[in-house]
Structure 1
Amino acid sequence: MNVRWKVKEFLDSNQKSTYALWKASGLSRTTTYAIAAGAMKGVEFDTLAKLLGGLESITGKRVELADVLEVTRG
C-alpha cells in the first residue's frame, strides 16, 4: 500500500498556483513546494490542517483528505 500527494493535480484543476497556496497556508515555502511536488513523505497533523485550510482559502471550496492524498494498493 502506498500513499501519494495529489496537491498539484488539485491546484491545477482549480487553476491555482503553488505560490498562492504557500501564501494562504502559513506553511514554509520549502514545505509547501515539497508537498505540491509530491516529495514530502510525512507530515504532522498541524501541517496537514494548514495545507487544507490554505486550499480552502484559495478555492473557496471545502477540501477533504481524499482531494489531496491517494492510497494505492499493490
Structure 2
Amino acid sequence: MNRIEDLITALQKKEEEKNKNTVLWILAIIGAVAAVAGIAYAVYRFFTPDYLEDFDEDFDEDFDDYFEDDDEDEDK
C-alpha cells in the first residue's frame, strides 16, 4: 500500500512542478514583451522631434516683440 501512495505522491509533485513551470514561462513571456515595448517606446521618444520646443521659441519671440512695441509707444 505504501508503494501506491508513493507513486501517487510522486505524480502529484510532478503535476505541481509542471504547473509552476507553466506559470514561470508565462511570466517570462510577459516580462519579455514588456521589455520590448519599453525599448520601442524609448527609441520612439528619442527619434521623435520635439515640436513643443519650437513652439516655445516662437512664443518667446512673439512675446518679446509685443513688449518692444509697448516700449516704443511709451517713448512717444
Q: TM-score w.r.t. structure 2 length? A: 0.23
When you count helix as a share of all residues, which structure comes out higher? 2
When you count strand as a share of all residues, which structure comes out higher? 1
Larger radius of gyration: 2
RCO greater where, 1 or 2, for CA within 8 Å and sep 6 or more?
Answer: 1
